[in-house]
Structure 1
Amino acid sequence: MTSYKIKTIVMSDGERLPMLIESNTGIPDYWITLYSITQLRSRGLAVKTIEQTLQHLKLLMFFLKNNYTEEINLEKRLEDAKLLSLSEVEILCDICKLHIEDLTKEYSSTNTQTNIKLNSLENFRNTSNTKNINTVDPKSTGHRIRSIKDYLVWLGNTFLSNVEDFGLKTLSLNDAIKTVKSTLEARIPKVQSSDPLSGKRSLSEEELKLLFSIIDKDSKKNPWKSSFAKTRNELIIFWLYEFGLRRGELLNIKMSDLNFQEETVSILRRPDDSDDSRTNQPVVKTQARKLAIPKNLLDLTYSYLFGIRESLPESVYHPYLFVADKSGLPMSLSALNKVFSELRKANPNLPQNFSPHILRHSWNDKFSKIMDAKNIPEEREKQIRSYLMGWSPTSNSAHTYTKRHIEEEANKVILEMSDNSIKAKKE
């Protein structure tokens, strides 16, 4: 089975270039690489966005290589003024509903592919060795189909532009491109707008108390063994909770961003930073800003910096605040995720979705309560929140949190009104 993986190349200037390569040979796919460079990278898209697109196109390549009749050679088809048939588009859209891990697992575990026909989602379910085949959500399916559609249209138009004589071949290829484009667009699932008020978004007061008791260095509930891990991870939680930072913002902080005299930290954008040795570079998606550091957090950070961080061997060779246990290299996104998975395992009373983003929501809830206590007008509240979160002044992101807080306050009023009515009736 031909399989593909994404490999990110770090250029000498620090720029990251994700590439889709064949696993066995290590050779990048020519047309997808050309598409990535000329259509994605040239538009200044974030590395994560390009990687996500390549993940979608990996599904396309899986379909082409493992089609139920024979391998599909798009280049040869386009030379013959053809692209994909309607039935093939249907199969491709079915594949976009599946987890690629399930697909590759089935094919790699089967000696002969004759037992598993990649000709429909239902057939795959029936012939699969895995009984419970999960599907991705409709929104993710839509993103995949759009990415594949954009690539196929680009590829078709690239071949169309190289046809020398305008004639039947040109008309046929143009029709083939339009057909694939329209049929793929028609199969993009319609997704209802998500309700920002639904679901558990932040920690309750009880959960916050539990969290702080777990990360205490002297707590028996603390899941970490080394003194360094306990100190660093406690500091990480405090930084995320006090500022509502994203993962990339936290791991992007350099020691030079800290001003101990002013008691401030600067959150700065550094795409493709040559100082950063991490292939999967944590990046700041929001606007640059300067934030005041609470005195207690400043003292803890100072003790960490000049107490244990500098004792790790590799920490002296880079400027990043948070470093990996034992080595002292810049802390990775996966290592940060592991901190939260270990916390979830340490105590099942923490939410199953506990993550840095949950603490970001907790910060916003705390901010709303403070603004209420100070009687800050709603418009002014949005402006302050937008600055502290790094959002554009015209962004609607602040409105999401304000709206949710208003709902909570409105529900409190309803309960109070109900209690008063029942009390009056009893009297």
Structure 2
Amino acid sequence: MELKVEILKADDGHRIALLSQNGMPLYYPNLYITNEKRRSSYQTHLNILHHIKIFFFWCEVTGIEVEDRFKRGDVLKADDILNFVDFCAWDAETIKRIRSGVRLLKSAYREVSRSEASSRIGSIKEYLEFLFKKLAQCSKEDPRLVSMLSDIKAYKPRVKSHRSIQRVELTQDQERILKAVVMPNHPENPWSVDPGVRLRNLIMFYVTLETGIRRSELAALRVNDIDFVNRTVSVYRRHNDKHDPRIYQPQAKTGERTLPLSPELIEQIDNYVMHSRSKVPGAKKHPFLFVSHSRGKGGPISVGTVNHCFAQLSKAFPELGRLHPHKLRHHWNYDFSRKVDEEMKDEPEEDKRAFDEAARAYAMGWKPGGTMSQVYNRRFDEEKAGELMDKRNKKYKIVIKDNDEPK
């Protein structure tokens, strides 16, 4: 069985995600996406179909014909559900080996994270609910369906709601190293020797550092999104953009906004557009700012290219840890908190917090009053709590006199 999740691009720019078997679209999974998930983005459709594909692999391995079973009004039994929940925990390579019939040693099995396994099972659970109602021609209150969904929920791995406490922003040493090695003329710069590539990557790094925008938003920037006079960059939502030649179109997940850029960065962007991008033939065919310099192709870069640029830095300088674009987004939030704390140190704490949340929500493209600021501001809050506790603890002094020591 050859299953493939792919994206088709219509003439109007609309992206359509499909799950196909041996080149033919599968009816029920694609009907499910069209009917039940039409308001979601194509990226969400891709994720769901990848999860459903894993369920189809499980059916292949176990020999269970789910559609035939549902047509008879029979549901998955508890043992079946436990088996497919376990199957959802394996990574892609392990699933590939299981499907091939190779017997694996216990140590050869590799699992995905609990959150990924839980996400897979959640997507499959919703699909099975749709499929059973469609094939058994019943309502969601049908006791057979309720029982099956209840069993899936019971076996689904629990994911703790709290986030692990780990450093997500850059340290001062890491920031110092990065600002040095991304310079095009630095002897240890790990990027291509092509001056245009080095300048492009330098700009991508600094745009992310100065604004905290997402990598998809970075890859989707157009030349005319840069206001060279007012020194700003604007982030727009252009879903299903027919002018974007990329099948996997980078999309803004957050709200539209306009953000300031430093004069030095604006100067480098102008330099890149006028003297590097303009010399790549294919770049004239589209409006996107960052282009591929490989053999003069000139197409807009992919999100994968952005990831690769950061991965090269991480590989060349292990002291940077696992560096990725989203880490700079966290770093922006941490640094923003420090700046607000410094600039508004004499303001009431309530006013400071209100300004922080409102300004941060706009800069990050979040809805005002949401909870995302709490997630990204957690490290700063931890540090402030630690500082206050240290000050408080200074009043407790343990002084043991000689005559107080135990005999």
TM value normalised by structure 1: 0.86
Instruction: State the partner residue of 1:277.
Output: 245
Deviates more, 1:227-236 or 1:399-408: 399-408
Instruction: State the partner residue of 1:14.
Output: 13
The amino acid of 2:380's aligned partner reads H
2-side partners of 1:304 and 1:370: how far apart?
30
Instruction: State the partner residue of 2:145.
Output: 177
1-side partners of 2:68 and 2:335: how far apart?
60
How much has 1:410 moved relative to structure 2?
Answer: 2.9
Instruction: State the partner residue of 1:380.
Output: 355
Out of 106, 120, 130, the position equivalent to 1:144 is: 120
Instruction: State the partner residue of 2:403.
Output: none
Instruction: State the partner residue of 1:335.
Output: 305
Instruction: State the partner residue of 2:339.
Output: 370
Is this contact kept in 2: 1:89–1:183, CA < 8 A?
Answer: yes
Out of 68, 78, 100, the position equivalent to 1:76 is: 68
CA-to-aligned-CA distance 1:282-339 (integer Å, 9 cap, x gap): 1001111111221111111100111101110110010011111222100001111111
Is this contact kept in 2: 1:287–1:390, CA < 8 A?
Answer: yes
Instruction: State the partner residue of 2:371.
Output: 396
The amino acid of 1:182's aligned partner reads S
Instruction: State the partner residue of 1:47.
Output: 42
How much has 1:5 moved relative to structure 2?
Answer: 1.9
Instruction: State the partner residue of 2:170.
Output: 203
Instruction: State the partner residue of 1:229.
Output: 197
2-side partners of 1:409 and 1:52: how far apart?
38
2-side partners of 1:405 and 1:53: how far apart?
35
Instruction: State the partner residue of 1:212.
Output: 179
Instruction: State the partner residue of 2:53.
Output: 58
How much has 1:275 moved relative to structure 2?
Answer: 0.8
Residues 347-358 of structure 1 mapped to structure 2, 5 A cutoff = 347-352=317-322, 354-358=323-327
The amino acid of 2:320's aligned partner reads L
The amino acid of 2:118's aligned partner reads G
Deviates more, 1:415-424 or 1:388-397: 415-424
1-side partners of 2:266 and 2:289: how far apart?
13
How much has 1:424 moved relative to structure 2?
Answer: 10
In structure 2, relative to structure 1, the CA distance for the partners of 1:107 and 1:65 (3 Å cut) is: closer
2-side partners of 1:422 and 1:142: how far apart?
49
Specify the SS of the correspondent of 1:66: helix
The amino acid of 1:147's aligned partner reads S
Instruction: State the partner residue of 1:121.
Output: none
Instruction: State the partner residue of 2:228.
Output: 260
How much has 1:360 moved relative to structure 2?
Answer: 0.6
How much has 1:195 moved relative to structure 2?
Answer: 2.6
Instruction: State the partner residue of 1:132.
Output: 108
CA-to-aligned-CA distance 1:252-302 (integer Å, 9 cap, x gap): 111111121222221110111111111111100111111122111111110
Is this contact kept in 1: 2:11–2:242, CA < 8 A?
Answer: yes
2-side partners of 1:235 and 1:416: how far apart?
42
Report the number of matched residues.
Answer: 391
2-side partners of 1:401 and 1:51: how far apart?
27
Question: What are the ranges of 5 or more consecutive residues in structure 2 without an aligned counterpart?
Answer: 401-407
2-side partners of 1:228 and 1:396: how far apart?
40
How much has 1:420 moved relative to structure 2?
Answer: 8.8
How much has 1:398 moved relative to structure 2?
Answer: 1.5
Instruction: State the partner residue of 1:311.
Output: 279
CA-to-aligned-CA distance 1:157-179 (integer Å, 9 cap, x gap): 11233xxxxxxxx79x9443233
Out of 288, 312, 323, the position equivalent to 2:256 is: 288
Is this contact kept in 1: 2:167–2:379, CA < 8 A?
Answer: no
In structure 2, relative to structure 1, the CA distance for the partners of 1:154 and 1:423 (3 Å cut) is: closer
Is this contact kept in 2: 1:254–1:320, CA < 8 A?
Answer: yes
Deviates more, 1:392-401 or 1:364-373: 392-401
The amino acid of 2:122's aligned partner reads R
1-side partners of 2:200 and 2:374: how far apart?
34
Specify the SS of the correspondent of 1:17: strand
1:27 aligns with 2:24: yes
Is this contact kept in 2: 1:99–1:134, CA < 8 A?
Answer: yes
Instruction: State the partner residue of 1:3.
Output: 2
1:85 aligns with 2:77: yes
Is this contact kept in 2: 1:160–1:174, CA < 8 A?
Answer: no
In structure 2, relative to structure 1, the CA distance for the partners of 1:388 and 1:190 (3 Å cut) is: same
Is this contact kept in 2: 1:106–1:129, CA < 8 A?
Answer: no
Is this contact kept in 1: 2:72–2:136, CA < 8 A?
Answer: no
Is this contact kept in 1: 2:114–2:159, CA < 8 A?
Answer: yes
Question: What are the ranges of 5 or more consecutive residues in structure 1 without an aligned counterpart?
Answer: 117-126, 162-169
1-side partners of 2:398 and 2:269: how far apart?
52
1-side partners of 2:128 and 2:372: how far apart?
34
In structure 2, relative to structure 1, the CA distance for the partners of 1:137 and 1:33 (3 Å cut) is: same
Residues 98-177 of structure 1 mapped to structure 2, 5 A cutoff = 98-108=90-100, 113=101, 127-128=103-104, 131-161=107-137, 174-177=142-145
Deviates more, 1:207-216 or 1:80-89: 80-89
In structure 2, relative to structure 1, the CA distance for the partners of 1:318 and 1:423 (3 Å cut) is: farther
Is this contact kept in 2: 1:255–1:321, CA < 8 A?
Answer: yes
How much has 1:223 moved relative to structure 2?
Answer: 0.8
RMSD (Å) for aligned C-alpha atoms: 2.3
1:247 aligns with 2:215: yes
Specify the SS of the correspondent of 1:151: helix
Specify the SS of the correspondent of 2:329: helix
How much has 1:415 moved relative to structure 2?
Answer: 4.5
How much has 1:101 moved relative to structure 2?
Answer: 2.6
